[in-house]
Amino acid sequence: MEGGLFLPFFFRLRGRGLHVTPTQWLTLVRGLALGLHGSSLMGFYSLSRAVLVKDESEMDAFDLAFAEQFRGVETTIPSIEDEVMRWLKTPLPPFPVDPEWRRMMDEVDVEALRAELERRLAEQTGRHDGGGKWVGTGGTSPFGHGGFHPGGIRIGGERRLGSAVQVAAARRFREHRRDLTLDTRQLGVALTKLRALERRGPADELDVDATIDRTAREAGELTLVMRPPRANNLGLLLAMDVGGSMEPYRHLVDLLFSAAHGARHFKRFAHAYFHNCVYEHLYADSCFEERVPIADVLRRYAKDTRLVLVGDAHMSPGELTMRYGAIDYYERNDEPGIAYLARLKEHFAHAAWLNPMPESWWDATSVRIVRKVFPMYPLTVEGVARLAEDLGQG
Amino acid sequence: MGNGFDRFAGTKRYITSADLRHAVNVSVALGRPLLVKGEPGTGKTLLAHAVAEDLGMDILAWNVKSTSKACEGLYVYDTVQRLQDSRFGDKNVSDIRQYIRFGPLGRALTSDRQVVLLIDEIDKADLEFPNDLLHELDAMEFEVLETGDGYKATQRPVVIITSNAEKELPDPFLRRCIFHYIAFPDEALMAEIVRVHHPDVNAKLLKQCLQKFYWLRGLEGVRKRPSTSELIDWLGALMAAGVPAEQVEREIPFLGALIKKPEDLDVALDKGGPTASSRNFRR
């Protein structure tokens, strides 16, 4: 095999997303030196695949790279979808709100706004786009979507400026996958620090110190003392904010979920969903179809369960501080959101908030309010490790 | 290759694809562990036994459990036994060595002859389990801490590791392995495999059964698809009962041998495969 064809293959594989390392490559070279490929392209194919591929999910990419390299076939299948997803995964900083707007947003009386929406809906007779009063798309009326009003109610439609106070439409979010393969391990390792070791269960470990002590007391008559091995008795409840401004971080949250789900050292692991803030209910699924009342959550999970909320905590302050301030039209909370958060914190002695946004963006009013209740950590490997350490023993 | 490449060629009892044979031989020649993944029932575990038989080596099997620890594979120090023995003075308890028990990996590394070491279902154990084995599998040596004795393999064992992909394996571990994914056999290979287990199977019955078998596997909504071992059991039952090929054409007798979940049975029954006699089979 000439160098002109051989080495580019290595980089082509890496370009296709296979993490081929130089060591693996040298193993392949050693195999070639031993003649394991039997001097045929087919032999080289199976030799290099056996050495370089680590998982069946990589086989397709390997085949593509191999075909490109050795048959001169240029495939133009690199999926457009992946490319687009990559753009979407790079979140922009939150929409810059100038202080004037921020002041207006903070002053919004959600209840008055809701009443006004209902009044205008009653008055309005048909579809209306643009303009400044009626409910529709575009325009500066506080109601509808795709428009610009610092503190209006969004009705369905796509997120544009992220300034809508309420979304009154059914949403569907993809369920989190459990089988993500990227870097969940790093997070998994960080999570291993999250444990509370206790001795429980059958006594099948020799307690050497106690055995010596008891044996001595029995004047040399051997007395074995057994004890249960140390095991982790920690339960984890992971509550995730999904949809809206969390969309750019979905992949990151998926990684965390996969890691927590895959970690076997928890005695109990459960997960739930919410949108922006927790009110009367948590949701068992990310489509918000199966409600779990907060009262049930408090009953179901013991006080020593570790509660970790994941969210950007970025919302209109009203969603936290006002009655009926929930972004979801159907939520209708009798108490301000912050009261529910405080109730959770009161029950779960060990609770924390993970924020996927960089710490430099944590100065928003709503984030500051949330941080008064929960200690907040960034959703990075390092942040998770710190959280695990702080929530672990104790 | 003169120095024994192409040593493994499959055995009379174990039929393989050319791909798999090549992977086994690469792993033996490079001295790297072979990691085998694949659907349950594709013969991952049997592979190690076949390799051992074909290469004329002994096999040491290490069946990994969720509580398995890497060090147990090397050795266990039996403190309790030593304490018990100390009471009667009939043994020299100052010799710790007699209380060190080698595990499968320890035995493989200390064996005078080259052996096949099967680490079965490695994904059942803890996340750190494979990582804890890295050094031992790389350097093929270990130390007994209690005695300070070091052991190094004179004959590098042939290591075959199976995984059901229940859990991801760490990258550093994967990089050291030769990887092979056993694809589900096609009809031709399957016919060969079946003949190994039922040499005197009627050709017409076999053809008919394979047709039904792959039809069942292809059914949408079946959660636990029947695998090779189930096909073999089913054929055994058919032959023992003397069911003719014509009957298999019309219905699926002993469906319970192929389908193990009640929900799947309903799917199969809905699709109009079998008839009354198989319904009776359902308890």
Pick the residue from chain B with its C-alpha nearest to A53: B179
Shared domain for B122 and B260, answered yes or no, is: no
Picking from B21, B30, B161 by the largest number of A CB atoms within 10 A of its own CB, the best residue to mutate is: B30
Instruction: Kindly state whether residues B72 and B135 are assigned to the same domain.
Output: yes
Most confident residue range from A39-53, A154-168, A223-237, B93-107: B93-107
- Residues from chain B that touch A46, judged by Cβ atoms under 8 A, are 19, 22-23, 26
Pair (B223, B176) in one structural domain: no
Residues of chain A found within 8 Å of residue B172, distances taken between Cβ atoms: none
How confident is the model over B72-99, as pLDDT tens digits?
A: 899 999 888 888 888 777 778 888 888 9
The answer on pLDDT for B249 being more than 60 is yes
Count interface pairs A-B at CB distance under 8 A.
81
Mean pLDDT is lowest, of A72-81, A200-209, B218-227, for A72-81
Please tell me if residue B76 touches chain A, with a CB cutoff of 8 Å.
no
pLDDT at position A74 is 43
Instruction: State the smallest CA–CA distance between residue A278 and chain B in angstroms.
Output: 32
Yes or no, beta carbons of A55 and B174 under 8 Å apart: yes
Helix axes of B44-55 and B18-30: crossing angle, nearest 10 degrees: 60
Residue finishing a domain among B182, B210, B240:
B182
**Which residues in chain B touch residue A188, judged by CB atoms under 8 angstroms apart?**
127
Does the residue B8 lie in any domain? no
pLDDT confidence of residue A53: 87
Of B26, B83, B127, the CB nearest to A36: B26
Nearest to B255 by CA among B195, B207, B213: B213
What CATH number should be reported for the domain holding residue B54?
3.40.50.300
Q: Is B77 helix (H, G, I), strand (E, B) or coil?
A: strand
Rounded CA-CA distance A255/A245 in Å is: 18
Question: Which residue on chain A is closest to B81 by alpha carbon?
Answer: A224
Residue that finishes a domain, picked among B132, B163, B182: B182
pLDDT at residue A113, as a whole number: 67
Q: Long-range contacts for A382-388 (Cβ within 8 Å, ≥24 apart)? A: A382/A190, A383/A354, A384/A187, A384/A190, A384/A191, A384/A256, A384/A354, A385/A190, A385/A193, A387/A194, A387/A308, A387/A352, A387/A354, A388/A190, A388/A191, A388/A192, A388/A193, A388/A194
Higher pLDDT, A1 or B95: B95
Residue whose C-alpha is closest to residue A6's, from A75, A71, A69: A69
Which of B5, B87, B181 is opposite residue A36, by nearest beta carbon?
B5
Closest CB from A36, A54, A192 relative to B174: A54
Give the pLDDT confidence of B147-168 residue by residue, as tens digits. 889 999 888 999 999 998 766 7
Q: Indicate the length of chain A as a whole number.
A: 394
pLDDT, position B278: 43
Q: Percent of chain A scored above 90 by pLDDT?
A: 7
Tell me the chain B residues in contact with residue A266 when contact means C-beta distances shorter than 8 Å.
none
The answer to the question of residue B11 being in a domain is: no
Residue that terminates a domain, selected from B119, B151, B182: B182
Q: Name the pLDDT band for B242 (thresholds 50, 70, 90).
A: confident
Q: Are A94 and A364 in contact (CB under 8 A)?
A: yes
Q: E strands, chain A, where?
A: 136-137, 144-145, 153-154, 166-167, 197-199, 205-206, 226-227, 230-232, 235-241, 268-274, 281-283, 291-293, 306-310, 351-355, 376-378
Nearest C-alpha in B relative to A51? B178
| CB within 8 Å: B127 and A192 | yes
B27 lies within 8 A of chain A by CB: yes
Supply the CATH classification number for the domain A184-196+233-391: 3.40.50
Q: Do A36 and B1 touch (CB under 8 A)?
A: yes
Mutation to test the B interface, candidates A18, A20, A21, A34, most B Cβ within 10 Å: A34
Candidate ranges A6-15, A79-88, A337-346, A377-386; pick with highest mean pLDDT: A337-346
Give the residue among B33, B58, B267, B70 at the shortest CA–CA distance from B158: B33
Please state the domain count of chain B: 2
Helix residue spans in B111-200 (DSSP H): 129-132, 134-139, 171-175, 187-197
Q: Is A23 close to B175, i.e. CB distance below 8 A? A: yes
| Shared domain check, B218 and B108 | no
Q: Best mutation site among A36, A226, A230 for testing chain B: the one with the most B CBs within 10 Å?
A: A36
- Chain B residues lying within 8 Å of A189, measured CB to CB: 127
The verdict on B226 and B149 lying in the same domain is no
pLDDT above 70 (res A101): no
Q: Which amino acid is at A19?
A: H
Are the C-beta atoms of B238 and B253 separated by less than 8 Å? yes
B6 lies in some domain: no
Closest chain A residue by Cα to residue B181: A56
| CB < 8 Å & 24+ apart, contacts of B255-258 | B255/B281, B255/B282, B256/B281, B256/B282, B256/B283, B257/B230, B257/B233, B258/B213, B258/B216, B258/B226, B258/B230, B258/B231, B258/B234
Distance CA A116, CA A110 (A): 10
* Contact residues on chain A for B126, CB-CB shorter than 8 A: 264-265
Chain B closest-CA separation from residue A188 CA (Å): 9
Q: What is the 3-state secondary structure (H, E, C) of A317-360?
A: CHHHHCCCCCCECCCCCCCCHHHHHHHHHHHCCCEEEEECCCHH
A152 vs A134: CA distance, rounded Å: 12
Nearest residue of B to residue A45, measured between CA atoms: B19
Give the minimum alpha-carbon distance from B5 to chain A in angstroms, rounded to a whole number. 7
CA distances from A220 to A67, A210, A266, B89, B99 (A): 75, 13, 41, 13, 21
Residue A66 CA, distance from chain mean position: 35
Mean pLDDT of A16-28: 87
The mean of the pLDDT values for chain B is 83
Domain that holds residue B216: 187-281
Return the structure tokens found at A302. Answer: 């013991």
Predicted confidence at residue A36, as pLDDT, reads 85
Q: Are residues B34 and B171 in the same domain?
A: yes
**Contact state of B127 with A264 under an 8 Å Cβ cutoff:** yes
CA–CA separation, B155 and A186 (whole Å): 36
Residues B197 and B272 in one domain: yes
**Check: complex ipTM more than 0.85:** no
What is the predicted pLDDT for the residue at A152?
Answer: 44
Residues of A whose CB is below 8 A from B22: 43, 46-47, 50
Q: Using CA atoms in the order A170, A174, A178, A183, what is the torsion angle rounded to 10 degrees?
A: -120
Q: Give the rounded distance of the alpha carbon of A213 from its chain centre.
A: 50
Tell me the pLDDT tens digit for each residue of B25-34. 899 898 899 9
Mark whether B200 and B152 lie in a shared domain: no
| Contact between residue B196 and residue B43 where contact means Cβ atoms under 8 Å apart | no
Radius of gyration of chain B (CA): 23
pLDDT of B280 reads 43
Per-position DSSP letters for A87-127, written without gaps between them: HHHSPPPPPPPPHHHHHHHHH--HHHHHHHHHHHHHH--S-
Domain boundaries defined on chain A: 3-78, 99-167, 184-196+233-391, 203-231
Q: How far, in Å, CA of B73 to CA of B64, rounded?
A: 9
Report yes or no: B208 at the A interface, CB cutoff 8 Å. Answer: no
E strand or H helix at B76: strand B75-77
**Whether residue B137 is found in the same domain as residue B236:** no
Of A46, A56, A59, the CB nearest to B22: A46
CA–CA–CA angle A232, A188, A57 (5° rounding)? 130
Other residues' Cβ atoms within 10 Å of the Cβ of residue A90: 7
Strand, coil or helix: what is A390? helix
Q: Are residues B118 and B209 in the same domain?
A: no
